[in-house]
């Protein structure tokens, strides 16, 4: 053990003890395998959740959400399907959260409602999680364990060391997971900024140490595999920001991810340097700044901070606002400013608006709409496409190669990304010298098993996306979404009639009511034709007294749907309403 540091000595002592215990068992052929099962985050961006299972123990890594896509009208958030964990609930013993972004901790309240297990995370990650659990009234019964980079935790057959990594949120970690089958490295979300302004480096020395002692498999973040070279250093962003502070004569309004504490601190420091006051705008911004300040990750010089309502009392050149809304979110503070709906701040000539974040795919239209609105109000707008105003938190190609070369894994598994990202990352691993037969390209639900230094593909487990709508979790399915899409696209047609419960005679209607239908159709003869069609259906009923009116409704729905599509090539939602009186 000479030459190995104290952390490694402790790990290897634990491993040796476990190995000795294992050797006292029978010498029958081992049937127990190490299973790794992604329940989210592979083949998609967000929804990150990974399961490690050995014998009667399951360790979960992250439980994140994703925000709804365009085809999910009315949905608030999307979380992973916990079906496999429910089936093996007795095995689920603990969960680690690698950092505090929503795509890694956003589903934790839903997870902890079902699984009463301890949660391990770093100080800032746990602080963010506490706030989230408090909103769900779960904080009292939660078992939250704080760890830091370099700490070691034991989870049944797993021994985990937390590795410092640089990311776009403070206090993130990767994981070195010692298992009975060998060492697994889970990168978490990372980059390799050599000049981080907050002093948190990706611990390349520690990763190289593990590489020298043998790594069974590397599970590595694939998000930015399409980006050439190295990611931009946060220090470069600092220089760009400082240039704006030097040249701007009016108010500076910076839209930043509320979780990007390092960027927020840079703006605070520059504001203090150039004798500006700082106001924070947006609920999540105020919350995260408060948490970061309480935990010691943000320092605000005395006399620098002001409240929003006091902005108008200061000269423009003394004002800086740090706000939410970098993605054009409809209810965000910056969007309300752009639409003149913010109660304290109105955009005006001479303002400089900084979008200090990247355009997340899918948000481009919303962001450009806000940018155009800001320009119309006379503001100048700075964003990633025209300035080095943002640095990604995910590693580019050369950094991904560096990690593979340091860790030197036997097997390589790309994680975190859409399928094209996973595929390109696998190709990148081949370029670094990993044999193609040792690269495992898996997606959600694919079980990858390790036994005796080899890998096999296990069962396909059930995974999916659970939709959260208000307080409803999983009660909105594809049929409901399809109806919502029809309502938003082609509107609704209601066929209304009342029938005598005793005789079956029609005593009102049929009437056709439309909402969201084309304006030209509202008073057109086509609606009279639809009424006639319904009357014909009713006239064909031979024995109305004993009629099942639900069957009549289905017949009306089917024939009206065909009629409208043939007449105007539209498919409105058809709602037959038959009222027995």
Distance CA 173, CA 104 (A): 12
Distance CA 63, CA 96 (A): 9
Q: Exactly one of 104, 178, 394, 416 is catalytic; name it.
A: 394
Distance CA 547, CA 269 (A): 77
Closest to 504 in 3D by CA, of 464, 465, 456, 539: 539
Q: Which residues contact 187 (CB under 8 A, 6 or more apart)?
A: 165, 174, 218, 219, 220, 221, 403, 415
For 33, the token pair is 């395998």
Distance CA 253, CA 273 (A): 16
Write the CA distances from 486 to 72, 483, 517, 573, integer angstroms.
Answer: 12, 5, 11, 6
Distance CA 330, CA 369 (A): 11
145 in helix, strand or coil? strand
Q: Which residues pair with 449 in a beta bridge?
A: 35, 456
**DSSP H or E run through 562:** helix 549-568
The size of the chain, in residues, is: 581
Question: How many Cβ atoms from other residues are within 10 Å of residue 130's Cβ?
Answer: 15
Q: Exactly one of 81, 189, 221, 351 is catalytic; name it.
A: 221
580 in helix, strand or coil? strand
Burial of residue 192 (number of CB atoms within 10 Å: 0-12, 13-18, 19+):
buried
Burial of residue 342 (number of CB atoms within 10 Å: 0-12, 13-18, 19+):
middle
Residue 416 annotated as catalytic: no
Residue 221 annotated as catalytic: yes
Distance CA 96, CA 48 (A): 12
Question: How many Cβ atoms from other residues are within 10 Å of residue 59's Cβ?
Answer: 26
For 430, the token pair is 């081949």
Q: Which residues pair with 511 in a beta bridge?
A: 496
Distance CA 286, CA 119 (A): 25
Backbone angles phi, psi at 336, to 5 degrees: -65, -35
Would you name the residues annotated as active-site residues?
Answer: 221, 394
């Amino acid at each position: 053990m000479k030459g190995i540091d104290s952390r490694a000595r402790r790990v290897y002592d634990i491993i040796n003890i476990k190995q000795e215990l294992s050797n006292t068992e029978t010498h029958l052929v081992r049937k127990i395998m190490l299973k790794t099962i992604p329940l989210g985050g592979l083949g998609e961006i967000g929804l990150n959740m990974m399961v490690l299972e050995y014998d009667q123990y399951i360790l979960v890594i992250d439980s994140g959400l994703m925000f709804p896509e365009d085809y999910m009208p009315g949905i608030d958030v999307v979380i992973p399907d916990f079906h496999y964990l429910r089936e093996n609930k007795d095995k689920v013993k603990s969960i680690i959260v690698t950092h505090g972004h929503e795509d890694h901790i956003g589903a934790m309240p839903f997870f902890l409602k079902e699984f009463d297990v301890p949660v391990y995370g770093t100080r800032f990650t746990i602080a963010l999680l506490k706030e989230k659990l408090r909103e769900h009234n779960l904080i009292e019964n939660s078992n939250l364990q704080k760890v830091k980079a370099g700490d070691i935790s034991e989870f049944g057959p797993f021994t985990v060391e937390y590795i410092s990594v640089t990311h776009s949120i403070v206090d993130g970690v990767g994981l070195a997971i010692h298992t009975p089958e060998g060492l697994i490295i889970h990168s978490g979300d990372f980059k390799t900024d050599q000049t981080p302004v907050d002093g948190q480096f990706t611990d390349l020395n520690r990763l190289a140490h593990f590489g020298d002692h043998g790594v069974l498999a590397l599970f590595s973040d694939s998000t930015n595999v399409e980006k050439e070279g190295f990611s931009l250093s946060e220090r470069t962003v600092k220089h760009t920001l400082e240039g704006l502070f030097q040249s701007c004569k009016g108010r500076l309004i910076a839209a930043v991810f509320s979780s990007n504490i390092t960027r927020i601190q840079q703006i605070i420091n520059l504001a203090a340097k150039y004798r500006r006051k700082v106001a924070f705008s947006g609920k999540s911004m105020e919350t995260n700044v408060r948490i970061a300040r309480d935990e010691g990750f943000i320092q605000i010089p005395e006399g620098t901070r002001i409240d929003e309502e006091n902005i108008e009392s200061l000269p423009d050149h003394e004002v800086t606002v740090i706000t939410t809304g970098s993605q054009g979110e409809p209810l965000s503070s910056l969007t309300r400013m752009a639409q003149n709906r913010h109660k304290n701040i109105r955009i005006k000539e001479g303002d400089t608006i900084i979008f200090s974040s990247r355009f997340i795919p899918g948000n481009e239209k919303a962001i450009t709409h806000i940018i155009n609105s800001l320009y119309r109000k006379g503001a100048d707008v700075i964003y990633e496409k025209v300035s080095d105003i943002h640095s990604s938190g995910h590693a580019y190609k050369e950094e991904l190669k560096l990690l593979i070369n340091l860790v030197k894994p036997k097997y390589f598994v790309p994680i975190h990304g859409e399928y094209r990202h996973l595929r390109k990352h696998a190709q990148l691993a081949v370029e670094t010298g990993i044999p193609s037969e040792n690269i495992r390209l898996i997606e959600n639900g694919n079980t990858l098993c390790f036994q005796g230094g080899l890998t096999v593909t296990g069962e396909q487990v059930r995974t999916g996306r659970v939709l959260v709508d208000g307080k409803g979790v999983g009660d909105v399915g594809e049929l409901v979404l399809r109806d919502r899409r029809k309502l938003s696209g082609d509107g609704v047609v209601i066929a209304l009639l009342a029938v005598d419960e005793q005789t079956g005679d029609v005593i009102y209607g049929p009437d056709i009511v439309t909402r969201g239908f084309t304006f030209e159709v509202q008073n057109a003869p086509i609606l009279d034709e639809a009424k006639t069609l319904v009357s014909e259906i009713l006239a064909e009923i031979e024995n109305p007294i004993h009629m099942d009116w639900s069957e009549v409704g289905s017949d009306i729905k089917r024939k009206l749907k065909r009629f409208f599509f043939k007449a105007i090539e539209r498919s409105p939602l058809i709602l037959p309403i038959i009222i027995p009186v």
